[in-house]
Amino acid sequence: MYDAKRGISAQQFHWLFVLIAGAIILLFFINVISAGKTSAENKLSISMMNSFDAIFAGSKASDNTVSIIPAPPKTSIEFVCDAEDGHSEIAISGTIASSQDPNRIMFAHGSITGRQYVVFTRSIDMPFKIDNALFVADLDTKYYILNNPSRTSLSNALVKLLPSNITSEKINDASALREEGYDEIVIISFGNLPQSLPALKEIRVKNVDITPSSTRGVGTVEFRSKKPGATRFKPAEGASKYYGSTMLLGAVFSENMDYYECTIKRIYKKLKVVSQLYTKRSVLLEAAVRSGVCKAAYHDAIGQLTELKAVASGNRSLTPNNINSQEVMKLRDIKLELESLNEQVELHSCPLIY
Amino acid sequence: MSFNILKTKKHGQVKMFESIAMLLVFFFLIAIGLKFYGNIQINSLERTKERFITMDSIKMAILLSNLPEVKCSIQNVQKGACIDLYKVMAWEQVSQIEPAKSYYFNLLGHSTIVLEERIGADRWKSYLMHNKTFKENYSTSVTPLPVAVWNPNLRRHNFGVLYVKVHSET
């Protein structure tokens, strides 16, 4: 009796031991597989992010380039640019992959979920080239240009600025708006946004309202958004300024006013650096040339460039709704003056200012 | 009877030792396998890291040679594979002071950028555009990029090489 009891007890213990050891081994392998899966996913997303970075860096190298990039399925690329703290990031949502570049000048919608997206560049000149601005747009977004008969020249100019791969349509009346299977539509208006719109239940709708000023190339932009199904836009987030076609395009391709002003802030930051560099270059040229006329022109250019840097630095208090109208006008005047000085030194066969 | 108890006890102990020994051998084999797999992974990661550093270095060379701050331009029309000497000379001074200092550190990170201009037979002049290294234990990937160096004052092109050295901690 005692023997039998001892025998059963040893066997039970043996099976219990096998069970525990088996469970530990099983858990170990589950862990290894799970860690392997996470590692493979991370590796893939980081490699994807590196490819995006390479695409953006390659596109940025020259202006007026257009590239169509196929997006991996079920992937959403998020673009963040915060005007308050200047934080900027591109991330693949749901993964650890992200890329931060505090110098990147990029206009984009908040996220891209489409199958393809277009990356194009435009030069920013003030009047010398500062940088190439990158624009990223989802090909599943349609751009409606709501024609205003009194501002036809501006709407025509804007249509010409859009790359041909982007779906756009010029309409005379908001009743022509259709969903047509797009993820999002952007209505570009010229002070003629109607009070009421078609409901468009399944789609996000944004509005960029452009009001040009009496000075060529300068104007105001307002940003609005509308909930799917609503017939009215929410009140405008505020008004901002643009100067030149690149900034105007930037407003059209920005997520909202905050994103637009964040990127404009970067343009100002780069302008500050480049104007400082051109000032120093003009000082070196002033010392190197013999012609008195050219020396005077370089001297004037140094004054203008120093002022340009001061205007760009004055923008340090830039917060949403704060791209100053006077600063934009000042930039325009300095640009015209530098263009004239550059022509002057060219006429006297001296090295160009820019 | 006491002999039987002893026999059963011994039999149970032997079985238990057998199981433990089997498990030990099993875990030992797994540990060897993991070590082997780990080594392969470390080698592969090091190769990937080297590839990324080389790619970074090439990317930076392309980026740098296309920067409007150094590229030759005539009335704002940029010329390919050409560096303006006066822009580089201005860069050398400006990049030491803010805001350019932090701007170019964000752009070029831990790297050394040198422009070598050939000014005569076997005579070269160096311009140090950026130099940020780690204090210790770092490796460097070098990408030389042949460029034309334009002197706008003398209206002369010289041959030059732009060296982009990207540093990474080891």
Mutation for testing the A interface, residue in B40, B77, B94, B157 having most A CBs under 10 Å: B94
Sign of CA dihedral A95, A97, A103, A107: negative
Q: What is the pTM of this model?
A: 0.82
pLDDT of residue B12: 66
Residue of B166, B155, B156 lying closest to B109 (CA atoms): B166
Which two structure tokens, joined as six digits, stand for A165? 């791969």
CA A172-A178-A183 angle, 5° bins: 125
* pLDDT tens digit sequence for A139-149: 889 999 998 88
pLDDT of residue A12: 77
Strand partners, A121: A134
Give the residue ranges of chain A where pLDDT is below 70.
1-8, 10, 315-325
Can you give the residue ranges of every domain in chain B?
42-169
Residue of A111, A324, A72 lying closest to A204 (CA atoms): A111
Which two structure tokens, joined as six digits, stand for A175? 């009743």
Comparing CB atoms, the residue among B30, B63, B69 nearest residue A274 is B69
CB atoms within 10 A of CB B29: 10
- Pairing status of strand A218-226 against strand A167-171: unpaired
For chain B, the 3-state helix, strand and coil shares in percent, each to the nearest 5, are 50, 35, 15
Contact B152 A352 (CB under 8 A): yes
Contact B152 A6 (CB under 8 A): no
pLDDT of residue A49: 86
Computed over every residue of chain B, the mean pLDDT equals 86
Residue B155 vs residue A14, higher pLDDT: B155
* pLDDT tens digit sequence for B75-127: 777 777 899 999 999 999 999 998 899 999 988 889 999 999 999 888 999 99
Contact B152 A351 (CB under 8 A): yes
Which two structure tokens, joined as six digits, stand for B141? 């990937």
pLDDT of residue B4: 57
Chain A contact for B55, CB < 8 A? yes
pLDDT band at B5 (very low <50, low <70, confident <90, very high): low
pLDDT of residue A97: 85
Comparing CB atoms, the residue among B5, B76, B103 nearest residue A273 is B103
User: Distance, in angstroms, between A131 CA and closest chain B CA?
Assistant: 7
Assembly ipTM: 0.78
Instruction: Report cis status (omega within 30 of 0) of the bond before B99.
Output: yes
Strand partners, B169: B138
Strand partners, A67: A119
In sequence order, what are the residues at sequence separation of 6 or more whose Cβ sits closer than 8 angstroms to the Cβ of residue A39? none
